[in-house]
């Protein structure tokens, strides 16, 4: 039904762009690596007879006309990465969608609905601390203010778009109207499918990531000459807050809280840290619980800062609502999984995905592929060709069924 050799060789070829010496991938938005990756994926799209273009924020879009002028079936994922990420995260979804359309073309199956495959810009948020730029633009929710976010070199998203050779002022032109649904294939990035010995899974909903930035400002002083009871040590304060955050999140079965980035100033062996900045990624499939975890952590942070005469500032980097997957399309996915003789495992996604940006605009669904040992955001990320082939066939069947509706 699909050409798994073509799909896996494309995956391998794409993984060489931005490859790290640990075998991971560094591909950040609006960089040269990401441009090369887009150009390679553009070639795959053209070989599949898709009409290819870049939109105002640099989403790479492959379009296929339908027999009739019906609402669009959207497929896609992302090709940007986290630092030293894995080669399947995002890339697998894009290449699988292209492979399905390529196979339909080879079988001379013409769909009724038009289809668009989109490589969304900056799903991860690695460079600007603000993710899903491309899918926000397609949803029509990306604002000029969002484009003021800056990377660690102080380059704003707007500047990066300009330097990339795109015109930011056509922002609204990126919005895609008249969409029937969005379906994405993605690696699970967790252990549920593996624990159920299942190759593929049907996603029920996507947990919402809340990203906060904490800044604690104390006083840099001499490490040797300052008595322990007269310090305003920002790093000790941060350590207490971070340890408490882990305890708070652990009180809830599906909540998670992660500190992924932390910087210390002035960062000298013999200097009491005067300033510590860190990010906190808080998630839950239920946003009331996520908000409760956020409240408890920030209240503890305020108490700790006050007790140590340290100044606390908390900035919100992004707050994405959890999103349910469409029940009807889930049924189509589950039926397709059964048709290939696989057991149906339904699961929620702890990881965020572009489809969240389409909440309340059009229905979304996701098909998960088993991740070996549940590892992701790591060069060890792996999904087998057999499992990938099954997911691609499930997508192939799902597209045909949705197209017939
Ligand atoms: O952060 C996430 O959940 C996704 O990998 N962007
Ligand atoms: Mn990711
Ligand atoms: Mn991803």
Any ligand 1 atom below 6 A from CB of 58? no
Indicate whether 68 pLDDT > 90.
yes
Whether residues 258 and 335 fall in one domain: no
Q: Residue with structure tokens 């769909």?
A: 111
Residue 180 contacts residue 71 (beta carbons within 8 Å): yes
Work out how many domains the chain is built from and give that number: 2
pLDDT level of residue 238 (50, 70, 90 thresholds)? very high
Find the length of the chain.
405
Residue 353 alpha carbon to ligand 1 centre in Å: 6
pLDDT level of residue 172 (50, 70, 90 thresholds)? confident
Q: What is the pLDDT of residue 134?
A: 97
Note down the domain range covering 126: 4-207+322-404
Region 291-299: mean pLDDT is 98
Any ligand 1 atom below 6 A from CB of 352? yes
283's CB contacts (< 8 A; 6+ apart) are 207, 208, 209, 210, 255, 256, 257, 290, 350, 352
pLDDT level of residue 273 (50, 70, 90 thresholds)? very high
Whether residues 357 and 384 fall in one domain: yes
Region 114-141: mean pLDDT is 97
Whether residues 131 and 220 fall in one domain: no
| Ligand nearest, relative to CA of residue 132 | 1
Q: How far is CA 190 from CA 135, 174, 293, 383, in A?
A: 23, 32, 22, 12
Indicate whether 296 pLDDT > 90.
yes
Any ligand 1 atom below 6 A from CB of 209? yes
Residue 124 alpha carbon to ligand 3 centre in Å: 7
Any ligand 1 atom below 6 A from CB of 271? no
Any ligand 1 atom below 6 A from CB of 351? yes
Region 14-36: mean pLDDT is 96
Residues, beta carbon < 5 Å, ion ligand 2: 89
Indicate whether 149 pLDDT > 90.
yes
Q: How far is CA 353 from CA 76, 206, 306, 319, in A?
A: 10, 7, 37, 13
Region 78-85: mean pLDDT is 98
Nearest CA to ligand 1 atom 4: 352
- Tell me the best of 125, 284, 323 to mutate to test the pocket of ligand 1, counting ligand atoms within 8 Å of each CB and taking the most: 125
High-pLDDT (> 90) share of the chain, %: 96
Whether residues 193 and 334 fall in one domain: yes
User: Which atom of ligand 1 is the closest one to the Cα of 78?
Assistant: 6
Indicate whether 167 pLDDT > 90.
no
> Is cis: bond before 266, omega within 30 of 0?
yes
Q: List the CATH number of the domain containing 158.
A: 3.40.630.10
pLDDT level of residue 350 (50, 70, 90 thresholds)? very high
Q: What is the pLDDT of residue 20?
A: 97
Whether residues 216 and 307 fall in one domain: yes
User: Which atom of ligand 1 is the closest one to the Cα of 281?
Assistant: 1
Whether residues 265 and 390 fall in one domain: no
Q: Which residues pair with 140 in a beta bridge?
A: none
Any ligand 1 atom below 6 A from CB of 93? no
Task: Indicate the residue among 319, 342, 372 that finishes a domain.
Answer: 319
Whether residues 104 and 9 fall in one domain: yes
Whether residues 216 and 358 fall in one domain: no
Indicate whether 245 pLDDT > 80.
yes
Whether residues 73 and 194 fall in one domain: yes
| Ligand nearest, relative to CA of residue 352 | 1
Measured from the Cβ of residue 314, the count of other Cβ atoms closer than 10 Å reads: 15
Indicate whether 168 pLDDT > 70.
no
Whether residues 215 and 203 fall in one domain: no
| Ligand nearest, relative to CA of residue 186 | 3
* Per-residue tokens: 133: 């730029």
280's CB contacts (< 8 A; 6+ apart) are 211, 212, 213, 214, 245, 257, 258, 259, 297
Whether residues 165 and 243 fall in one domain: no
Q: 137 by DSSP, 3-state: which?
A: helix
| Ligand nearest, relative to CA of residue 82 | 2
Indicate whether 169 pLDDT > 80.
no
Residue 270 alpha carbon to ligand 2 centre in Å: 37
End-to-end CA distance of the chain: 21
Any ligand 1 atom below 6 A from CB of 208? no
Q: How far is CA 198 from CA 193, 228, 369, 395, in A?
A: 5, 55, 9, 16
Q: Which residues pair with 222 in a beta bridge?
A: 271
Region 179-187: mean pLDDT is 98
Q: What is the mean pLDDT of the chain?
A: 97
Q: Rg of the chain over CA atoms, in angstroms?
A: 22
Task: Indicate the residue among 274, 290, 319 that finishes a domain.
Answer: 319
Q: List the CATH number of the domain containing 276.
A: 3.30.70.360
Whether residues 193 and 216 fall in one domain: no
User: Which atom of ligand 1 is the closest one to the Cα of 132?
Assistant: 6
pLDDT level of residue 170 (50, 70, 90 thresholds)? confident
Indicate whether 69 pLDDT > 90.
yes
User: Which atom of ligand 1 is the closest one to the Cα of 376?
Assistant: 5
Task: Indicate the residue among 255, 285, 319 that finishes a domain.
Answer: 319
Q: Single out the residue of 156, 303, 333 nearest to residue 216, CA to CA.
A: 303
Indicate whether 386 pLDDT > 90.
yes
Indicate whether 106 pLDDT > 90.
yes
pLDDT level of residue 202 (50, 70, 90 thresholds)? very high
Q: 204 by DSSP, 3-state: which?
A: strand
Q: Single out the residue of 258, 259, 245, 257 nearest to residue 300, CA to CA.
A: 245
Q: What is the DSSP string of 342-394?
A: PPP-EEEESS--GGGGGTTTS-EEEEEE--GGG--SSTT----HHHHHHHHHH
User: Which atom of ligand 1 is the closest one to the Cα of 350?
Assistant: 3
User: Which atom of ligand 1 is the closest one to the Cα of 351?
Assistant: 3
State how far the Cα of 213 lies from the Cα of 236, in Å rounded to an integer.
17
Residue 283 contacts residue 321 (beta carbons within 8 Å): no
Burial label for 373, CB within 10 Å (0-12, 13-18, 19+), is exposed
């Amino acid at each position: 039904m699909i050409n798994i050799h073509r799909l896996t060789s494309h995956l391998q070829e794409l993984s060489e762009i931005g490859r790290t010496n640990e075998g991971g991938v560094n591909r950040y938005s609006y960089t040269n690596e990401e441009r090369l990756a887009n150009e390679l994926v553009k070639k795959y799209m053209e070989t599949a007879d898709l009409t290819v273009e870049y939109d105002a924020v640099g989403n790479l879009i492959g379009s296929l006309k339908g027999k009739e002028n019906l609402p669009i079936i959207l497929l896609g994922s992302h090709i940007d990465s986290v630092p030293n990420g894995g080669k399947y995260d995002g890339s697998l979804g894009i290449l699988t969608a292209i492979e399905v359309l390529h196979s339909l073309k080879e079988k001379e199956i013409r769909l009724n609905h038009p289809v668009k495959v989109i490589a969304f810009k900056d799903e991860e948020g690695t460079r600007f601390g603000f993710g899903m730029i491309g899918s926000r633009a397609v949803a029509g929710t990306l604002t000029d203010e969002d484009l003021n976010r800056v990377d660690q070199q102080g380059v704003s998203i707007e500047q990066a778009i300009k330097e990339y050779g795109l015109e930011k002022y056509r922002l609204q032109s990126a919005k895609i109207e008249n969409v029937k649904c969005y379906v994405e294939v993605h690696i699970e990035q967790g252990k549920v499918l593996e624990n159920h010995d299942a190759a593929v899974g049907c996603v029920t909903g996507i947990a919402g990531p809340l990203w906060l930035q904490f800044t604690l400002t104390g006083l840099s002083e001499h490490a040797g000459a300052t008595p322990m009871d007269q310090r305003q040590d920002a790093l000790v304060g941060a350590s207490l807050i971070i340890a408490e955050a882990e305890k708070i999140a652990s009180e809830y079965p599906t909540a998670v809280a992660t500190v992924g980035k932390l910087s210390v100033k002035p960062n000298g062996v013999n200097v009491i840290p005067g300033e510590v900045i860190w990010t906190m990624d808080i998630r839950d499939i239920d946003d009331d619980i996520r908000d409760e975890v956020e409240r408890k952590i920030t209240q503890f942070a305020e108490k700790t800062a006050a007790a140590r005469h340290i100044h606390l500032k908390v900035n919100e980097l992004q707050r994405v609502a959890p999103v349910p997957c469409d029940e009807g399309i889930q049924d189509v996915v589950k039926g397709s999984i059964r048709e290939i003789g696989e057991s149906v495992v339904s699961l929620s996604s702890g990881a965020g995905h572009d489809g969240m940006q389409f909440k309340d605009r059009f229905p979304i669904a996701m098909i998960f592929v088993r991740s070996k040992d549940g590892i992701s955001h790591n060069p060890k990320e792996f999904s087998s060709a057999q499992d990938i082939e099954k997911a691609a066939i499930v997508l192939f069947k799902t597209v045909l069924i949705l197209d017939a509706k």
